[in-house]
């Protein structure tokens, strides 16, 4: 399988009449995964029409998603981690015929990343075959999408220490140590930690001062399994916000180490939390943000939620849906 596969009969499969057209956008590292190949072959044998495109470099998944939308594909399946899913969603939503409207195709996910924070929180199957079966057998659910300026995210955006740790932790270290990789990176960064001066505004909320970390969530988990927003829902029209204000120097190491080890409950006495359909963040010196693994930077950010913007195959028992 290569990203140049274009022959519909050979590589997309004919499928049974009336069956939806699926296209799997697969991260290059998973191209030789036997379980993925078995899953695709099994569903094709059952009459499903499933094509495969394999990424080579950053930006391929974004481009391939746009091509799938233009080709009239019914379901685009992201095969990879949170970053691959982010690229696919961004490719489908940006520059559509109707700005703010339905992209015209649903989305599925086969979790093949290192952390798979979004997929794990949603209760998606780990097996590629089971994940593909869920996509082909369950109806899609309408979910909210987070947006900051002109970029989209499905799971969580982090700024400050959280963004630095996520961007600087290598894939090899994450594969070897899992969640502990973030802790190790964080410990090496503590000596360079500097609070960020900024101002935040949201629905019924204003705050100004210095902060160490900021997280804005549509989903629940980040950082290889930290449960940051246990009350988050993908269909409630709101974003969850967590802010860790500046701490006395003597508390920084112990508090942030506990935060990286145990997540939100470790800093509940120090954090500010709220829920709002929008959030404005102003940082005169600039701030790096990490959107589901995709970095952006700037001095002014407006977060908004686009209610029901995307149709995603999650299964009837997904804990992040309000009706569950």
pLDDT tens for residues 243-298?
988 877 777 777 777 776 666 777 777 789 999 999 999 999 999 898 887 888 99
What's the CATH architecture for 8-137? Answer: 3-Layer(aba) Sandwich (3.40)
Buried-exposed string 198-209: b where 16+ CB fall within 10 A, e elsewhere: bebbbeeeeeee
171 is catalytic: no
* Cα-to-chain-centroid distance, residue 133: 21
Tell me the three state secondary structure of residue 284.
strand
The CB density around residue 299, as the number of other CB atoms within 10 Å, is 12
| pTM recorded for the entire structure | 0.84
Domain ranges of the chain: 8-137, 153-307
Distance between CA 305 and CA 282 in Å, rounded? 18
What's the CATH architecture for 153-307? Answer: Sandwich (2.60)
- Tens digit of each residue's pLDDT (9 = 90 or more) over 121-174: 999 999 999 999 999 999 999 999 999 998 999 999 988 765 555 555 555 544
Catalytic one of 12, 87, 164, 294 = 294
């Amino acid at each position: 399988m290569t990203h140049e596969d274009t022959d519909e009969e050979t590589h997309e499969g004919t499928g049974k009449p009336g069956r939806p057209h699926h296209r799997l956008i697969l991260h290059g590292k998973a191209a030789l995964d036997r379980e993925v190949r078995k899953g695709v072959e099994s569903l094709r044998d059952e009459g499903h029409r499933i094509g495969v495109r394999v990424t080579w470099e950053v930006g391929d998944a974004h481009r391939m998603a746009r091509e799938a939308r233009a080709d009239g594909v019914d379901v685009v399946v992201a095969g990879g981690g949170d970053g691959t899913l982010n690229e696919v969603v961004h490719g489908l939503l940006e520059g559509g015929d109707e700005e703010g409207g339905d992209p015209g195709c649903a989305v599925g996910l086969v979790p093949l990343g290192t952390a798979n924070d979004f997929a794990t929180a949603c209760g998606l199957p780990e097996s590629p075959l089971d994940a593909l079966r869920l996509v082909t057998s369950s109806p899609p659910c309408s979910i909210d999408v987070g947006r900051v300026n002109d970029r989209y995210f499905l799971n969580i955006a982090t700024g400050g220490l959280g963004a630095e740790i996520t961007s600087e932790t290598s894939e090899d270290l994450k594969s070897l140590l899992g969640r502990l990789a973030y802790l190790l990176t964080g410990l090496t960064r503590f000596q360079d930690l500097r609070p960020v001066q900024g101002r935040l505004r949201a629905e019924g909320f204003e705050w100004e001062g210095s902060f160490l970390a900021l997280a804005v969530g549509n989903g629940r988990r980040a950082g290889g399994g930290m449960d940051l927003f246990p009350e988050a829902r993908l269909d409630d029209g709101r974003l969850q916000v967590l802010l860790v204000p500046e701490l006395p120097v003597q508390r920084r190491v112990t508090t942030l180490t506990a935060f990286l080890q145990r997540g939100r409950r470790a800093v509940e006495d120090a954090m500010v939390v709220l829920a709002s359909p929008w959030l404005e963040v102003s940082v005169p010196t600039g701030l790096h943000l990490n959107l589901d693994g995709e970095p952006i930077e700037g001095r002014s950010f407006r977060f908004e939620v686009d209610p029901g913007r995307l149709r995603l195959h999650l299964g009837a028992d997904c804990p992040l849906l309000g009706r569950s």
